[in-house]
Amino acid sequence: MKKVKYRHSTSRLLLLSVAFFISFSVLGIAQEEASQDATEEGQEQTDESSRESSEADAAASDLGDPANGKSLFNSLCAACHKPYSASIGPALHGVTEKREMDWLYRWIKNSQDLISSGDDQAVAIYEEYNQTAMPAFPQLSDADIDDILAYVEQPKPEPQTAQSGGESAGGDSSGGGVSVNVILAILLFVLVMLLAVLFLVNKTLRNFAQASGVVIPEKPKRKPIWKSFVENQFLVLVSAVFGLLVIGWFGYGFFMQVGVDQGYQPIQPIHYSHKIHAGDNQIDCKYCHSSARTSKQAGIPSLNVCMNCHKSISEVAPETATDEYSKEFYDGEIAKLYDAVGWSPAEQDYTGEEKPVKWVRIHNLPDFAYFNHSQHVSVAGVQCQKCHGPIEEMEVVYQDAPLTMGWCINCHRETKVRMEGNEYYEKIHEELSKKYGVEELTVAQMGGLECAKCHY
């Protein structure tokens, strides 16, 4: 019998494995040390910033109670002032360094009295802000004013960015001792080595069998499955019928979705969050879409409606930011609004340079279908969410309902006519109730399924 020799194959394989393992281990240790160094450096920076913040907080607390000051500021001052940026009035942060406390008490309690006395500083501020009179607050005590000043003199909070979340996630992964990437690389290396070993074992066994004179029988060739399928006429017939049914089913579903835009969610030129406005701030839908009460169309609000609030709101609160949308993102969208209407936050005035905003329409019924918003909103009392879905929860608006003919008809069949305070339908409701023998009528029973109601 002929002997087959494989010189150093096993030892070479083991040596190569050990070399790769040592390489990955060194990389893992180096990455762990680098991560620890970065963590220590970040901790030092955090300690330093927290130390500076605590010193500033201590200085502000000497003036008064910042928590009470925040409550007073939001109720009395926020309409015209911001702590860190100019609005209708100047930014208030640092005002205690520019003015004396006695002067601030007199100015806040009655600014007009101070201006009338001929005070140079008071007159200069009055002239600088276009002679806009500041309301008097005689009800505020010196302690209340101290609290407000303590609040506005607090250091500006650092914006929360997505990077901090990424760093904390990285820290958690490195806290275990080895990076996730290193572990995945080692597992991949082990898998490759197993495949290589299996290949070498198979090759070795074949060579050994060939050297020993062992004949490895070949598998008999079978008839291809497609030939067996073609020769069976019953299977061909059943498959053809099944294929036609599937094509018809999917074809019907496809053509029934033509013109149906449910789930359509376009990106608008200016990001407008209904979640913040209608949800968090609970602004009524009809404040912006006022024509929904009296018109067929709900209408697109003019940018002047936005500026009713955003003349004074040029940035969002830090807690408004989310993992997906940062404070800088929201502030940038407000800047887009200012650019479109030609508003200068620095000068608190319009520049006269306006740019059109090309909003993308989302809900769009066919021209042959008639729908009147005022009839549903004002007469029937239908809530906006009935057709538009949970609009107060949408960060980016999408079409919630299919708005198909069947969907509208089902709504008319199921919805009861609201009669409380609705004298318009009182007489006809009484007559139809006797006709159908019911106490409450649906929209369908009052003619809501007649073709001419929506198509004429």
* Cα dihedral 235, 237, 238, 242 sign: positive
pLDDT of residue 174: 46
- Cα gap 197→199, rounded to integer Å: 5
Weakest-pLDDT range from 94-98, 122-126, 136-140, 170-174: 170-174
Identify the CA nearest to 140 among candidates 68, 202, 196, 210: 68
> pTM for this one?
0.61
Contacts of 362 (CB under 8 A, 6+ apart): 261, 264, 265, 266, 397, 398, 399
Distance, in Å, from the CA atom of 92 to the CA atom of 125, rounded to the nearest integer, reads 13
pLDDT higher than 80, residue 21: no
Among 49, 321, 21, 271, residue whose Cα is nearest residue 165: 321
Angle at 75 (CA atoms; ends 74, 79), nearest 5 degrees: 70
Query: Can you give the residue ranges of every domain in the chain?
Result: 66-153, 236-266+284-299+362-402, 301-358, 404-455
The CATH architecture assigned to 66-153 reads: Orthogonal Bundle (1.10)
Per-residue confidence (pLDDT) for residue 1, from 0 to 100: 42
Q: List helix spans (H) across 257-302.
A: 274, 285-288
434-445 tens-digit pLDDT = 888 888 888 898
410-419 pLDDT per residue, tens = 999 999 888 7
Q: Does 25 have pLDDT greater than 70?
A: no
Regarding predicted confidence, which is higher, 392 or 12?
392
In this prediction, residue 430 carries a pLDDT of 81
The residues, any chain, with a CB within 8 Å of residue 413's CB and separated by 6 or more, are 442, 443, 444, 449
63 close to 149: Cβ distance less than 8 angstroms: yes
How far is 385 from 366, CA to CA, in rounded Å?
21
* Cα atoms found within 13 Å of the Cα of residue 145, Cβ hemisphere only: 20
In this predicted structure, what is the pLDDT of residue 163? 46
Give CA–CA dist 120/401, Å, rounded.
63
Spatial neighbors of 39 by CB under 8 A, at least 6 apart, are 171, 174
Q: Which helix (H) or strand (E) holds 336?
A: helix 327-341
The residue with greater pLDDT, 47 or 432, is: 432
> Mean of the per-residue pLDDT values for the chain?
83
The phi, psi pair for 442, rounded to 5°, reads -90, 165
Q: Shortest CA distance to 298 belongs to which of 356, 256, 346, 361?
A: 361
Mean pLDDT within 82-89? 81
- Mean pLDDT over 35-54 rounds to 58
Judged against a pLDDT cut of 90, whether residue 446 lies above it is answered with no
Helices within 73-152 (DSSP H only)? 95-98, 101-109, 111-116, 120-128, 142-152
Determine contact, residues 122/115, Cβ cutoff 8 Å.
Answer: yes
What integer is the mean pLDDT of 207-211?
Answer: 81
Token pair 């008064």 is found at: 64
**Total length of the chain:** 456
CA dihedral for 307, 310, 311, 315, sign (positive or negative): negative
Give CA–CA dist 434/452, Å, rounded. 25
pLDDT digits (tens, 9 = 90+) for 363-409: 999 999 999 999 999 888 899 999 999 999 999 999 999 999 999 99
3-state SS of 340-407 is HHCEECCCCEECCCCCCCCCCCCCCCCCCCCCCHHHHHHHCCCCCHHHHCCHHHCCCCCCCCCCCHHH
Give pLDDT, residue 55.
Answer: 54
Q: How far is CA 256 from CA 250, 251, 335, 411, in A?
A: 10, 8, 42, 19
**416 in helix, strand or coil?**
strand
Instruction: Tell me the pLDDT tens digit for each residue of 310-332.
Output: 998 999 988 899 999 999 999 99
Distance CA 422, CA 188 (A): 72
Question: Rounded to whole angstroms, how far apart are CA atoms 417 and 439?
Answer: 11
What φ, ψ does residue 350 adopt, rounded to 5°?
Answer: -85, 140
